């Protein structure tokens, strides 16, 4: 019965698409509506009736589509929102799956699937009202058609969150959702020891429920003002239950994947490229201008740079070795854009290892880093010198506040202070100071910074520094709390990037003595401040608390030496209008291309 | 050559000339090859430069002036400066230390193990030969990178904790002197003797059925005599050529490891490190690459010409030509 | 001969077994596990526990090894830890054909340049021709691929616009599982990387050909052939060349195996979706199944290549027998 309908439908589609191709209208056309009976035989034995729409998304010939040539930089390890842990995957997921909330290009939380949200008085129950025009779609690469699967509902949100938290899913980022009531209990459950019923009880116990088809209620373990930001994270997104259950691990391959975002996955040649096509059924499709994204996976920065210059990419992050040439080039210099990126580069001290167990030594080392010179001469990417850990743009950031470590921003002052402190610590001009080990993970960029800073220390303080590097995973293990102190390097590098734009994600999650705390630091005053700030509902009070915490961390105790706030350095062709904000993936759907200009440049 | 009628005769005659050692003959033959002599002298000069880098280089290798980053060649820096404003000429001079060390340590280890192993394997019974070659197959299939990372991890941990007794600590001290590459050289040599062993075995297999060997056997020469008097000198040629070819291989392995970030510890320079630091900026600052790449090419050429000369010199049939 | 081949292939099984065993143990000695960090972020132990449970990393080591072997015997190389939705079988099936295409072209170039250069150098030994041939052969190998690649891109893609900057011009499905459609797109993309890789390999071939040919030319039978008045060209090509190929073939075998299974640097610089990167990045990612799968694949390639080398030996030199 079904196949006959399909045959009819196909015929209709082919005929229509031929006609459509002939008159080539700019907007996608809905071809036919069919009512299909889908019998879902589940435990509840319900019979769902769905509306189905099949659409030819792109009546234009392929080469006429407004196309963005993008470099993902690497193969995305997954496109499954529950499993993604890295920026490349998130960049793609951002185009494929909608969240309850999203960040706008300025970094503010706004509604995406959620039209509005409210909290209860205590601040621990959030109710999200969802829009009703978001749809699940499936792109068929064989027929090049789009199939509408059904509306995106509150049940999909509930399924998505519970799927991420289910220990059998083994999601690396599941812990982000531990703030949801019962989330941690479910995710840490020992599935082998539990019966089916007990596990189900834990799943049911997660504080997320569909009040009706378009209203989600999420109960938290404790009040958290930053929760709307988390509610939009990829691990909390609605996920397509039927597709996941039908195809298992392979559900994210083209032809299987069911998505609801502004783009659909049309092609994925692993390690080579993937193609995203505009979703004609996306509720805001009228405002999505770019119709096709051809995303390559070029790892080598110099190759990507050559592709950009050859008009094979519309935008790229240039290697720093080419920065001087770009700045001097009349064309490239106009195409250069430097913007903030929510990460901080820092050196951590092993605070229980002599001689850096002495806070005077740590302060001296931090102050003797000429951050401005490092940025101008080595990094060349317009980075900003850092005097705090929490970067610019985060709630509670005190970046560039002169009350905190002013010597980090002014090297003349820093040099003078550094010498004083070293002398005070008993090592005037570095006399009697043992050789210290500065370690970085193997990478050309980190090596350059380490060599530059080691030379600064040698010059300013008269101390000798041995630079070592280790392969990434070895390195992360070395600098962890487990390593015996005698095997620790004295100083080591790390970076930290925002998961959500709040100082809690920085100061509390990284340096609280009971949390990661690679610096082996046990400052109770700091701990109390960040604990208090986490639960406080008063924005002014939270800001003040975080400022005080930074003062202790960076200035008074100098447990870390923040070095610079990252920037995103990009070259963009004049025909592309894009955003550069780095939180939560690339927003291709907001970008615009002057197609006539691009075609002219390509010589077509 | 025209005076010698057949190989067999040559071999017998050769064996009887007690007053002139084969090595002495080789030496005299080598001296006649001008290009090989020039290459040898070049390599000796290079060794000299590496040993006395401290006195030759205009600047220390780690001394930089940030403002001079990527400075073009000029009176201050003859070959320009790198990203930290360090003199490229000085770094290239110091770089010879690591690059030559990789070449020699790797070559020595692999020649020693590989030739012995190949000789024994090729000369032994088919069964032993088979077993020994399967072991080579087994080592061939091992991923070298895992060993390199393991060695680095292990010896750096040893270095920092100070355990492991005086012997290990001496090794660690040598390793420190060589910028953390000593164990990697050893690893490189140990993994490259395989090719040498196969070449040696192939030579021996082919040679041992030759008339002159059978002739030697028929006049009652011992195994030892056959191996060292006949097989070894005759098989040496291809092995030395292969080894001079392998030395560039070791030097490029060092460059490859540097590319992966597993090279010498900063700030110590090697040509491999300098190339992997420079290649990204090829189009903006070609001078970063020029000095180390030219040094690398010349060194490799010299090893090759010297290798050719040695080969010709060791081939008894070529003498007196 | 058939008996010999079968015996050699059977010998390959214990070789591969020990390789698997040793690598299986070694990778577990590497500090750091596959799931302890996501980027720079440390994952909490509870999450790591779930991941380890999913991939049975909490089983005893011997059981993991036995399970792995059993799966390998059934043709299943396991899931990738890093590419969460792909299996090692998928990754090899996608990457190997591309690497093999590049590798075969590079070998053709290497042999095409190396053997003629070697012959010319040997025939004109110690003349300027010899030195020039040596020089060209050496320059190829002494310029590392990380320099040669960007240089070729700069000249031939950016300046002259003859070729695209990077990437691969063939896509599945392939003919016979690995042969690309030899259209203009394929060739335009393939030439620069194949040349970069091929020139790096040609030097060893040229040098070895020269050395070996020089030796063979002085053999009795060659002199006999010459004495009989055979044309020089005929002597060289009919008799000497064939015999001089023994040492060359010795290195060609493993070289072929290594190049066909992927080369990291060339694939990275030209953004070619081959298998080469997985040999390297899987170690950094502690992606145990990919490390083991690629090692095993490489092992199989080596076993087969060495078997072929020995067979070619017998053909080149009938005095070598296998009994």
CA–CA distance, A360 with A343 (Å, rounded to integer): 27
Asked if residue A20 has pLDDT above 70, the reply is no
Q: For A29-38, C50-59, C153-162, which range has the lowest pLDDT when averaged over its residues?
A: A29-38
Across the range C250-273, mean pLDDT stands at 88
Question: What integer pLDDT is reported at residue A255 of this predicted model?
Answer: 92
Task: Report the topology of domain A76-260.
Answer: Dipeptide-binding Protein; domain 1 (3.90.76)
Interface test with B, best of C21, C206, C215 (most B CBs within 10 A): C215
Question: What integer pLDDT is reported at residue A214 of this predicted model?
Answer: 96
- Rounded to 10 deg, the angle between the A411-424 and A359-367 helix axes is 150
Interface test with A, best of C33, C45, C47, C82 (most A CBs within 10 A): C47
Across the range B236-242, mean pLDDT stands at 71
Question: What integer pLDDT is reported at residue B203 of this predicted model?
Answer: 81
Q: How far is C53 from chain B (nearest CA, A)?
A: 25
Question: What integer pLDDT is reported at residue B18 of this predicted model?
Answer: 45
Q: Where are the domains of chain A?
A: 76-260, 340-567
CB contact under 8 A, B280 and A319: yes
Cβ-Cβ pairs closer than 8 A, A with B, add up to 90
Cβ-Cβ pairs closer than 8 A, B with C, add up to 166
* Structure-token pair, residue C36: 């302890």
Across the range A588-595, mean pLDDT stands at 94
Helix (H) / strand (E) element for C244: namely helix C241-260
Across the range B110-131, mean pLDDT stands at 87
Mean pLDDT, rounded, of chain A = 87
Question: What integer pLDDT is reported at residue B158 of this predicted model?
Answer: 63
Across the range A51-74, mean pLDDT stands at 78
CB contact under 8 A, C30 and B297: no
Strand partners, A133: none
ipTM given for this complex? 0.89
Q: For residue C147, what is the nearest residue in chain A, using CA coordinates?
A: A302
**Which residues of chain A make contact with B280, given a CB cutoff of 8 A?**
301-302, 319, 321-322, 444
Across the range C65-77, mean pLDDT stands at 95
Q: What is the DSSP letter of B71?
A: P
CB count within 10 Å of CB A138 equals: 19
CATH homologous superfamily, domain A340-567: Dipeptide-binding Protein; Domain 3 (3.10.105.10)
- 3-class DSSP assignment, residue A376: helix
* Structure-token pair, residue B177: 């002197």
Q: How far is A363 from chain B (nearest CA, A)?
A: 23
Nearest residue to B85 via CA among B62, B58, B66:
B66
Question: What integer pLDDT is reported at residue B23 of this predicted model?
Answer: 64
> Which among B145, B206, B244 is the nearest to C283, CB-wise?
B145
Asked if residue A286 has pLDDT above 80, the reply is yes
Contacting partners of chain A (3+ CB pairs under 8 A) = B, C
CB count within 10 Å of CB C108 equals: 12
- Rounded to 10 deg, the angle between the C2-29 and B126-140 helix axes is 40
- Angstrom CA distances, A438 to A363, A600, C2, stand at 16, 51, 60
> Which among B84, B262, B280 is the nearest to A471, CB-wise?
B262
* Structure-token pair, residue B149: 């990372």
- Percent residues over pLDDT 70 in chain A: 90
pTM for this one? Answer: 0.85
Q: Which domains does chain C have, with CATH numbers?
A: 95-272 (1.10.3720.10)
What is the tens place of the pLDDT at every residue in A513-522? 888 788 888 8
Question: What integer pLDDT is reported at residue A168 of this predicted model?
Answer: 93
Looking at the structure, give the CATH architecture of the domain made up of residues B21-63+74-318.
Orthogonal Bundle (1.10)
Question: What integer pLDDT is reported at residue B316 of this predicted model?
Answer: 57
Going by pLDDT thresholds of 50, 70 and 90, the confidence category of residue B185 is confident
Across the range A360-368, mean pLDDT stands at 96
Asked if residue B216 has pLDDT above 90, the reply is no
Asked if residue B138 has pLDDT above 60, the reply is yes
CA–CA distance, C71 with C85 (Å, rounded to integer): 18
Question: What integer pLDDT is reported at residue A500 of this predicted model?
Answer: 76
Question: What integer pLDDT is reported at residue A75 of this predicted model?
Answer: 93
Nearest residue to B103 via CA among B285, B306, B283, B320:
B306
Q: Which DSSP string do the residues of A3-58 spell out, in sequence order?
A: HHHHHHHHHHHHHHHHHHHHH--SS-EEEEEEEEEE----TT---EEEEEEEEES-
Range 210-269 of B in CB contact (< 8 A) with A: 260-262, 265-267
Higher pLDDT, A177 or A582: A177
CA–CA distance, A319 with A306 (Å, rounded to integer): 11
Question: What integer pLDDT is reported at residue A23 of this predicted model?
Answer: 35
Helix (H) / strand (E) element for A246: namely helix A241-247
Q: For A74-83, A310-319, A320-329, C203-212, which range has the lowest pLDDT when averaged over its residues?
A: C203-212
What is the tens place of the pLDDT at every residue in C294-317? 989 988 888 888 888 888 877 777
Higher pLDDT, A444 or C92: C92
CB contact under 8 A, B238 and C212: yes
Across the range C220-233, mean pLDDT stands at 76
CB contact under 8 A, A477 and C171: no
CB contact under 8 A, A469 and B261: yes
Asked if residue A323 has pLDDT above 70, the reply is yes
Strands (E), chain C: 37-38, 41-42
Across the range A18-29, mean pLDDT stands at 34
What is the tens place of the pLDDT at every residue in C103-125? 999 999 999 999 999 999 888 88
What is the tens place of the pLDDT at every residue in A178-195? 999 999 999 999 888 888
Across the range C35-48, mean pLDDT stands at 83
Q: For residue B259, what is the nearest residue in chain A, using CA coordinates?
A: A444
Asked if residue B2 has pLDDT above 50, the reply is no
Mean pLDDT, rounded, of chain C = 86
Q: For A475-489, B96-110, B235-249, which range has the lowest pLDDT when averaged over its residues?
A: B235-249
CA–CA distance, C207 with B245 (Å, rounded to integer): 8
Helix (H) / strand (E) element for A315: namely strand A315-316
What is the tens place of the pLDDT at every residue in A186-233? 999 988 888 889 999 999 999 999 999 999 999 999 888 779 988 999
**Which residues of chain C make contact with B130, given a CB cutoff of 8 A?**
11
CA–CA distance, C92 with C72 (Å, rounded to integer): 14
* Structure-token pair, residue A124: 């621990």
Q: For residue A517, what is the nearest residue in chain C, using CA coordinates?
A: C42
């Amino acid at each position: 019965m079904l196949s006959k309908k399909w045959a009819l439908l196909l015929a209709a589609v082919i005929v229509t698409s031929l006609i459509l191709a002939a008159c080539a209208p700019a907007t996608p056309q809905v071809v036919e509506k069919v009512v299909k009976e889908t019998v879902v035989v589940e435990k509840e034995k319900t019979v769902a009736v769905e509306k189905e729409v099949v659409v030819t998304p792109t009546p234009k010939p392929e080469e006429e589509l407004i196309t963005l040539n993008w470099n993902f930089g690497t193969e995305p390890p997954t496109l499954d929102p529950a499993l993604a842990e890295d920026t490349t995957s998130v960049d793609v997921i951002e185009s494929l799956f909608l969240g309850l909330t999203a960040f706008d290009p300025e970094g503010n939380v706004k509604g995406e699937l959620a039209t509005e949200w409210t909290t209860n008085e205590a601040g621990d129950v959030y109710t999200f009202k969802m829009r009703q025009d978001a749809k699940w779609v499936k792109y068929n690469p064989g027929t090049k058609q789009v199939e509408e699967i059904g509306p995106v509902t509150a049940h999909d949100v509930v399924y998505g969150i519970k799927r991420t938290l289910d220990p059998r899913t083994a999601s690396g980022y599941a812990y982000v959702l531990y703030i949801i009531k019962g989330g941690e209990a479910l995710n840490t459950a020992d599935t082998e020891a539990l019966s089916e019923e007990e596990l189900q009880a834990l799943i049911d116990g997660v504080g997320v429920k569909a009040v009706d088809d378009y209203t989600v209620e999420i109960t938290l373990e404790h009040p958290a003002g930053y929760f709307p930001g988390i509610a939009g994270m990829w691990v909390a997104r609605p996920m397509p239950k039927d597709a996941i259950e039908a195809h298992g691990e392979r559900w994210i391959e083209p032809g299987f994947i069911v998505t609801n975002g502004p783009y659909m996955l049309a092609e994925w040649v692993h390690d080579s490229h993937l193609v995203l096509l505009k979703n004609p059924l996306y509720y805001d499709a009228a405002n999505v201008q770019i119709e096709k994204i051809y995303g390559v996976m070029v790892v080598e920065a110099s190759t990507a740079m050559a592709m950009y210059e050859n008009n094979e990419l519309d935008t790229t992050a240039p290697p720093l070795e080419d920065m001087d040439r770009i700045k001097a080039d009349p064309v490239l210099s106009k195409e250069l854009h430097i913007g903030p990126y929510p990460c901080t580069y820092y050196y951590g001290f092993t605070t229980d290892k002599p001689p850096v167990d002495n806070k005077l030594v740590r302060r001296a080392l931090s102050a003797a880093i000429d951050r401005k010179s490092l940025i101008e001469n080595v990094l060349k990417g317009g980075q900003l010198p850092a005097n705090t850990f929490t970067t610019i743009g985060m709630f509670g950031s005190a970046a560039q506040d002169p009350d905190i470590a002013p010597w980090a921003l002014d090297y003349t002052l820093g040099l003078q202070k550094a010498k004083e402190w070293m002398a005070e610590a008993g090592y005037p001009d570095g006399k009697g100071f043992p050789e210290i080990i500065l370690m970085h993970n193997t990478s050309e960029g980190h090596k350059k910074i380490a060599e530059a800073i080691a030379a600064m220390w040698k010059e300013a303080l008269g101390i000798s520094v041995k630079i070592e590097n280790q392969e990434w995973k070895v390195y992360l293990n070395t600098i962890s709390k487990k390593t015996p102190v005698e095997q620790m390097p004295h100083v080591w590098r790390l970076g930290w990037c925002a998961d959500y734009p709040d100082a809690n994600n920085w100061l509390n999650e990284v340096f609280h003595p009971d949390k990661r705390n690679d610096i082996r630091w046990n400052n109770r005053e700091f701990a109390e401040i960040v604990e208090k700030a986490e639960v406080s509902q008063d924005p002014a009070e939270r800001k003040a608390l975080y400022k005080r915490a930074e003062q202790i961390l960076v200035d008074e105790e100098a447990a870390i030496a923040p070095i610079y706030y990252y920037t995103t350095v990009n070259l963009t062709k004049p025909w592309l209008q894009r955003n550069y904000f780095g939180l939560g993936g690339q927003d291709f759907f907001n970008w615009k291309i002057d197609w006539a200009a691009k075609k002219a440049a390509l010589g077509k | 050559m025209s005076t010698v009628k057949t190989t067999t005769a040559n071999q017998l005659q050769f064996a009887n000339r007690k007053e002139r050692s084969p090595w002495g003959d080789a030496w005299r033959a080598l001296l006649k090859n001008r290009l090989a002599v020039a290459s040898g002298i070049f390599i000796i000069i290079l060794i000299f430069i590496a040993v006395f880098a401290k006195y030759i280089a205009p600047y220390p290798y780690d001394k930089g002036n940030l403002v001079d980053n990527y400075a073009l060649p000029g009176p201050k820096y003859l070959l320009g400066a790198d990203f930290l404003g360090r003199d490229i000429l000085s770094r290239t001079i110091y770089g010879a230390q690591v690059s030559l060390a990789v070449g020699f340590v790797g070559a020595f280890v692999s020649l020693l193990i590989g030739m012995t192993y190949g000789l024994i394997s090729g000369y032994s019974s088919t069964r032993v030969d088979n077993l020994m070659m399967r072991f080579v197959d087994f080592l061939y299939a091992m991923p070298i990178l895992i060993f390199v990372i393991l060695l680095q991890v292990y010896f750096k941990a040893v270095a920092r904790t100070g355990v492991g007794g005086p012997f290990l600590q001496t090794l660690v001290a040598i390793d420190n002197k060589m910028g953390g590459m000593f164990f990697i050289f050893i690893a490189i040599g140990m993994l490259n003797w395989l090719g040498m062993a196969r070449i040696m075995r192939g030579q021996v297999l082919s040679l041992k059925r030759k008339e002159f060997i059978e002739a030697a056997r028929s006049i009652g020469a011992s195994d030892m005599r056959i191996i060292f008097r006949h097989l070894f000198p005759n098989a040496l040629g291809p092995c030395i050529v292969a080894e001079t070819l392998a030395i560039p291989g070791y030097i490029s392995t060092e460059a490859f490891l540097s590319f992966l970030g597993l090279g010498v510890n900063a700030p110590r320079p090697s040509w491999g490190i300098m190339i992997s630091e420079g290649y990204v900026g090829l189009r903006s600052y070609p001078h970063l690459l020029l000095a180390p790449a030219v040094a690398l090419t010349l060194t490799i050429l010299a090893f090759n010409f010297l290798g050719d000369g040695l080969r010709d010199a060791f081939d008894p049939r070529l003498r007196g030509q | 001969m058939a008996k010999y081949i079968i015996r050699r292939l059977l010998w390959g099984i214990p070789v591969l077994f020990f390789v698997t065993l040793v690598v299986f143990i070694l990778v577990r000695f590497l500090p750091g596990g596959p799931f302890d960090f996501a980027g720079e972020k440390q994952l909490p132990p509870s999450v790591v526990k779930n991941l380890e449970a999913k991939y049975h990393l909490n089983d005893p080591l011997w059981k993991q090894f036995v399970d792995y072997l059993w799966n390998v015997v059934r043709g299943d190389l396991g899931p990738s830890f890093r590419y969460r939705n792909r299996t090692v079988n998928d990754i090899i099936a996608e990457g190997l054909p591309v690497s093999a295409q590049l590798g075969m072209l590079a070998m053709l170039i290497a042999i095409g340049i190396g053997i003629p250069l070697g012959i010319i150098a040997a025939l004109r030994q110690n003349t300027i021709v010899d030195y020039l041939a040596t020089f060209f052969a050496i320059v190829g190998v002494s310029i590392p691929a990380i320099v040669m690649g960007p240089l070729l891109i700069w000249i031939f893609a950016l300046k002259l616009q003859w070729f695209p900057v990077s990437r691969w011009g063939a896509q599945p499905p392939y003919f016979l599982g690995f042969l690309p459609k030899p259209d203009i797109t394929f060739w335009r993309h393939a030439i620069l990387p194949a040349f970069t890789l091929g020139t790096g390999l040609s030097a060893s071939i040229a040098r070895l050909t020269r050395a070996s040919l020089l030796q063979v030319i002085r053999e009795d039978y060659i002199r006999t052939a010459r004495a009989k008045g055979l044309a020089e060209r005929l002597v060289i090509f009919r008799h000497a060349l064939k015999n001089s190929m023994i040492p060359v073939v010795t290195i060609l075998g493993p070289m072929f195996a290594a190049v066909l299974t992927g080369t990291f640097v060339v694939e990275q610089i030209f953004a070619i979706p081959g298998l080469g990167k997985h040999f390297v990045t899987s170690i950094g990612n502690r992606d145990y199944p990919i490390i083991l799968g690629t090692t095993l694949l490489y092992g199989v390639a080596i076993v087969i290549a060495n078997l072929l080398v020995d067979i070619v030996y017998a053909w080149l030199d009938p005095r070598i027998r296998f009994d």
